[in-house]
Structure 1
Amino acid sequence: SAEGEYIKMFMRGRPITMFIPSDVQNYDDIRTELPPEKLKLEWVYGYRGRDCRANVYLLPTGEIVYFIASVVVLFNYEERTQRHYLGHTDCVKCLAVHPDKIRIATGQLAGVDKDGRPLQPHVRVWDSVSLVTLQVVGLGTFERGVGCLDFSKADSGTHLCVIDDSNEHMLTVWDWQRKSKIAEIKTTNEVVLAVEFHPTDANTIITCGKSHIFFWTWSSNSLSRKQGIFGKYEKPKFVQCLAFLGNGDVLTGDSGGIILIWGKTTVESTAGKGPKGVYQISKQIKAHDGSVFTLCQMRNGMLLTGGGKDRKIILWDHDMNPEREIEVPDQYGTIRAVAEGKADQFLVGTSRNFVLRGTFNDGFVVEVQGHTDELWGLASHPFKDLFLTCAQDRQVCMWNSVDHTLEWTRLLDEPGHCADFHPSGAVVAIGTHSGRWFVLDAETRDLVSIHTDGNEQLSVMRYSVDGTLLAVGSHDNFIYLYVVTENGRKYSRYGKCT
């Protein structure tokens, strides 16, 4: 609706006010219909590793599957191509691959649609070859979001178990093809970090998290819980991850750097022994300095573990002796996900949102990288296939939009909020959240100029078309104007608009 000198539009339920330029006599005369063209997603930069786990896998198609925001990316690193699953309506937080390695389940948070109406958290099961959605599970069941999920293995992936983000961390078991919920139970008010079906015992589901591991017996619509007893072993602050040995024993990795092997007792209850059919600790292995963050069972039955603080990936033989190890370089952050790759390669997702591909002999190559905190500023180069981003993580990144690579990155003293290129393309201006703004050389990334306007965040920077003026828009409701000379290298304050 046009009201006098401004137009009001609604985006995601919030009113946005836009002022009509003063030289427009009548807005209705220049009003146009939406163009018929539609945008198609071409490339997604980045990966969500910082607050997720176990979310990088290699598919038989040769694609690495991972997610960021509401998009699940299938990236073929050899062909340098991406495909995208776009069924989700808000941030994806977890991912599980079906035993057939083709179907995938992804769980999302609650959100709001473009009109501000609430969107319910749910799980989507989809085909990674055709990208067709096969089923939407759990609408109206999950609270806040989906924390973790797993396909059953002993019955060829007929069932799906899900832990939601509610206070009680509800465990639900689904016949996902029929969309029917079979069983449901509260797990714990503590954080739950993983849920897995036992690979050979169809009736066993295991959950773990803060100071606990629970072994659930699932029978038709009932779930009964047995708590794992640590006994003489130190109780960890967090049981972080699960895996299974070929004999059915359960492995847990915890925040103390320990791997515990849990075996099922077979004898009837005798003095000093636990009851029959209960999982008890049979062995303890000191695996990492800091936590054991992820466990990855390999095709050959050996095990890869990823450490938190020590950033090490260790290969363990069938008798759980360490065979090889490699350290992930500090600049990539800590390990959040490890998966087996082609041949002797493995894939690593990190806390600084890198996806790495590596071997014990040759080290790592970066396959995916991006920002590590909220992205605020975006500017496209006036005539080259380049664009620049700046974010809450203080990183400024220059990206090549043809080969989808990072040209350069530079760390600012504070978070970047907005950016604009000078029309010459020689420099780029970046506004921060404190009122300071920087001008960088677009090729060398050297600092050209630095100024401060107000002490609130700068929301927009714009050069005039001829490059002789720069307008700096601040949260303090002033627009600061500068005269620009020397091709964007010299700035003198001209005034401020209210």
Structure 2
Amino acid sequence: MKFYVRGRPLIFYAPSLLGNDFLTRIQAQPPRDKLILEWVYGYRGKDARSNIFMLPTGEIVYFIAAVAVLYNVDEQTQRHYVGHTDDIKCIAIHPDKVTIATGQVAGHDKSEGKPHVRIWNSITLATLKIIGLGDFERAVSCVTFSKVDGGNHLAVVDDANDHVLSVWDWQKSEKGTKILEAKNSGDPVFFAEYNPVDANSIVTCGKGQITFWSIEGTSVVKKTGIFEKLEKPKYVTCLAFTENGKVVSGDSAGNLIIWSKGSNKVHQALTGAHEGGVFCICILKDGCLLSGGKDKKIVKWVSTDAGYERSKLPEAYGPVRQISEGAGNVLLVGTTKNCILQGSFDLKFNPVVQGHVEELWGLATLPSQNQFLTCGYDRMLYLWDSPTHRVVWSKEMPESCHAIAIHSEGQIAIVTGTSPRWYVFDVASREVVGSNSDATERIECVQFSPESSMLACGSRDNFIYVYSVADDGKKYSKVAKLSGHSSFILHVDWSIDSQYLQSNSGDYELLFWNMATFKQITTASTLRDVVWATTNCTLCFSSCGIWPEGVDGTDINACTRSHDNYDIVSADDFGKVAIYAYPAFHPKSPGFSYSGHSSHVTNVKFLHDDTRLISTGGKDTSIMQWQVVNSSNCL
């Protein structure tokens, strides 16, 4: 069969049993199974603000990638709003505590890929309105509902050059009605909030400014905050309203500033509130003010006649990004290390959500347990337990990590770095017990042979390095350096008897290797009946049907085959995870595609029993767990 990628013809040989007329005689079938998003690991705290809220249902709502997560910590359940087509960047809760607005960046989707706001019901997860589709440029950076008038209005800040502030009557028409818009600033805007006691007042803040807006019909009056004798901060990073309508702002110099009610002038300054920037402010129901900052501290300010007193919490899990009030005296704390903690001033803060912080590529599932390993450019290696959705342990590696392979016994993992070095990691002791660096560039892919007697490492230097494995995976000796590819190695598969290897490279080659002689096999037709232990190669006979029409040769980053050989799943550059019937040899094979990731999906793997699929997002740093369900059982 001849298959074209970017005009380049590739020849794939079908197994002999299929015969010569297989494409016309065998009809392409949809997959037996479908995927249901079951759990999302991670939280976007690194670069997003005001993004954790407690709902009356007892659920925490936050976002990561293109998913808004509603997580009940006590019941250990998640629900997901998946209406967005790309990164969610901001969130706002309506005064009714049911309606939610989320704003996204420009996406891949042609019809709804432009930045917009989605307003949805947090109980039914139904989309109520799509606001501003075609009105915004790069991204929606801030959203806020009005408070006094029952939440009839929505203010939106566009992340365009002028950072335009627009106000919408979101219920008035099918797509909402824009009441007014005004240029904000040429510099980034971080935060926008409606005054809780004045329906016509909005405050925004960002680089070098805090701005007070007064709405008068369809026009708006803009006043910039005057710092008077105080040094103007480089960034005004956050703000909050007290119950009586005063504004409290935090800045990059570590100061808290209280602004006179209804004025753009300073009422009181609490300088040096934090060492480094103030990242968030939370006003509790009892009137107490909490602030969190770069110094990894939460400070509680109690109002007295003498001003404010403060107490500090211990350092934990990186700088504080967001503080929200939970049930009772419980606090929810998001951090810039993409964790969410739960606790109080009287109780220890414990993580309820953890995740990677930098680009994520490495994924491997354990051979006999429903657990999986991930690693990323943040140098962190995590072992996750899929039934409990918890981190079993985490380990900081010597360098940024890219790929993982697990020994058949499940006790040893090979973790490749972003340098040419790769590491032998003991899963039980959680220690690095060896390393190697024969390659001259990064190891892009790594795979044990089925019985783990050999290891193949595909490098960006165009070579595949083969090692013999001893001492239950703790000792490695190089036995070959396979030469033949003219570009970097992307994927490798071993035959089920470990006699052969197939490999893909960056220039869309599929090459075959004899692992007894360590020589390239140039007559690919002689291997048409070889049974492969895995299907990692995205360009081979059994996976060529996963390529949609018109995609670039780099658009599919990974694929994986279920252990029962019924399904093959792809991960692409458009944030999609797609499932097909295996083998997928028909061009444009029918399949089911699923959204959730916002960045390129970098990897996909089935758990050992095929009941779940794990996918990893690259720059969105998310991990998604999908339930594999027979499509005949799906409504």
Answer whether TM exceeds 0.5 for this pair: yes
Q: Any residues of structure 2 matched to 1:275-424 within 5 Å, and which?
A: 278-286=263-271, 287-309=273-295, 311-317=297-303, 321-323=307-309, 325-330=311-316, 332-424=317-409
Question: 1:272: which partner in 2?
Answer: none
d(CA) in 1 for partners of 2:7, 2:241: 52
Q: Which one of the candidate residues 161, 164, 168 is aligned to 2:162?
A: 168
- The answer to whether structure 1 residue 47 and structure 2 residue 32 are counterparts is no
d(CA) in 1 for partners of 2:285, 2:209: 28
Residue 301 of structure 1: how far off its partner (Å): 2.2
Q: CA separation of 1:22/1:445 partners in 2, compared to 1, >3 Å: closer, same or farther?
A: farther
Question: 1:249: which partner in 2?
Answer: 246
- After superposition, the CA RMSD in angstroms is 2.4
Q: CA separation of 1:398/1:474 partners in 2, compared to 1, >3 Å: closer, same or farther?
A: same
d(CA) in 2 for partners of 1:280, 1:304: 22
Question: 1:274: which partner in 2?
Answer: none
Code of the aligned partner of 2:324: A
Residue 393 of structure 1: how far off its partner (Å): 0.4
Q: Which one of the candidate residues 50, 64, 70 is aligned to 2:66?
A: 70
d(CA) in 2 for partners of 1:248, 1:463: 63
- The answer to whether structure 1 residue 59 and structure 2 residue 55 are counterparts is yes
Question: 1:150: which partner in 2?
Answer: 144
Residue 104 of structure 1 aligns to a residue in which SS? strand
Sequence identity of aligned pairs in percent? 45
Say which is worse superposed, 95-104 or 485-494, in terms of deviation: 485-494
Say which is worse superposed, 339-348 or 30-39, in terms of deviation: 30-39
- The answer to whether structure 1 residue 495 and structure 2 residue 489 are counterparts is no
- The answer to whether structure 1 residue 192 and structure 2 residue 189 are counterparts is yes
Q: Which has the higher contact order (CA 8 A, sep 6+)?
A: 2
The answer (yes or no) to whether the contact 1:314–1:325 under 8 Å persists in 2 is yes
d(CA) in 1 for partners of 2:98, 2:84: 18
Q: Any residues of structure 2 matched to 1:472-491 within 5 Å, and which?
A: 472-491=457-476
Q: CA separation of 1:307/1:16 partners in 2, compared to 1, >3 Å: closer, same or farther?
A: farther
Q: CA separation of 1:340/1:319 partners in 2, compared to 1, >3 Å: closer, same or farther?
A: farther
Q: CA separation of 1:300/1:132 partners in 2, compared to 1, >3 Å: closer, same or farther?
A: same
- The answer to whether structure 1 residue 33 and structure 2 residue 29 are counterparts is yes
The answer (yes or no) to whether the contact 1:376–1:417 under 8 Å persists in 2 is yes
d(CA) in 2 for partners of 1:151, 1:489: 58
Residue 162 of structure 1: how far off its partner (Å): 0.8
The answer (yes or no) to whether the contact 2:105–2:139 under 8 Å persists in 1 is yes
The answer (yes or no) to whether the contact 1:314–1:322 under 8 Å persists in 2 is no
Residue 256 of structure 1: how far off its partner (Å): 2.1
The answer (yes or no) to whether the contact 1:325–1:360 under 8 Å persists in 2 is no
Question: 1:132: which partner in 2?
Answer: 126
Question: 2:431: which partner in 1?
Answer: 446
d(CA) in 1 for partners of 2:42, 2:391: 11
Say which is worse superposed, 126-135 or 220-229, in terms of deviation: 220-229
Residue 312 of structure 1: how far off its partner (Å): 2.8
Q: CA separation of 1:422/1:206 partners in 2, compared to 1, >3 Å: closer, same or farther?
A: same
- The answer to whether structure 1 residue 231 and structure 2 residue 225 are counterparts is no
The answer (yes or no) to whether the contact 1:328–1:334 under 8 Å persists in 2 is no
The answer (yes or no) to whether the contact 1:7–1:20 under 8 Å persists in 2 is no
Residue 457 of structure 1: how far off its partner (Å): 2.2
CA offset digits 1:377-405 (Å, max 9, x no partner)? 11111111110001010111111111111
d(CA) in 1 for partners of 2:473, 2:188: 52
The answer (yes or no) to whether the contact 2:197–2:244 under 8 Å persists in 1 is no
Residue 217 of structure 1 aligns to a residue in which SS? strand
The answer (yes or no) to whether the contact 2:144–2:156 under 8 Å persists in 1 is yes
Residue 415 of structure 1: how far off its partner (Å): 1.2
How many residues align structurally? 475
d(CA) in 1 for partners of 2:112, 2:375: 30
Question: 1:216: which partner in 2?
Answer: 213
Code of the aligned partner of 2:282: C
Residue 472 of structure 2 aligns to a residue in which SS? helix
d(CA) in 2 for partners of 1:389, 1:32: 34
Unaligned runs of 5+ in 1: 9-13, 265-276
Residue 90 of structure 2 aligns to a residue in which SS? strand
The answer (yes or no) to whether the contact 1:313–1:328 under 8 Å persists in 2 is no
Residue 16 of structure 1: how far off its partner (Å): 11
d(CA) in 2 for partners of 1:85, 1:215: 33
Report the TM-score, using the length of structure 1 for normalisation: 0.90
Residue 233 of structure 1: how far off its partner (Å): 2.1
The answer (yes or no) to whether the contact 1:146–1:165 under 8 Å persists in 2 is yes
- The answer to whether structure 1 residue 202 and structure 2 residue 199 are counterparts is yes
Q: CA separation of 1:459/1:34 partners in 2, compared to 1, >3 Å: closer, same or farther?
A: farther
Residue 279 of structure 1 aligns to a residue in which SS? coil
Unaligned runs of 5+ in 2: 485-635
Q: CA separation of 1:404/1:121 partners in 2, compared to 1, >3 Å: closer, same or farther?
A: same
CA offset digits 1:104-137 (Å, max 9, x no partner)? 1111111214xx8882111111111111111111
The answer (yes or no) to whether the contact 1:324–1:360 under 8 Å persists in 2 is no
Residue 93 of structure 1: how far off its partner (Å): 1.1
The answer (yes or no) to whether the contact 2:43–2:338 under 8 Å persists in 1 is yes
Residue 151 of structure 1: how far off its partner (Å): 0.6
Q: CA separation of 1:321/1:56 partners in 2, compared to 1, >3 Å: closer, same or farther?
A: farther
- The answer to whether structure 1 residue 119 and structure 2 residue 113 are counterparts is yes
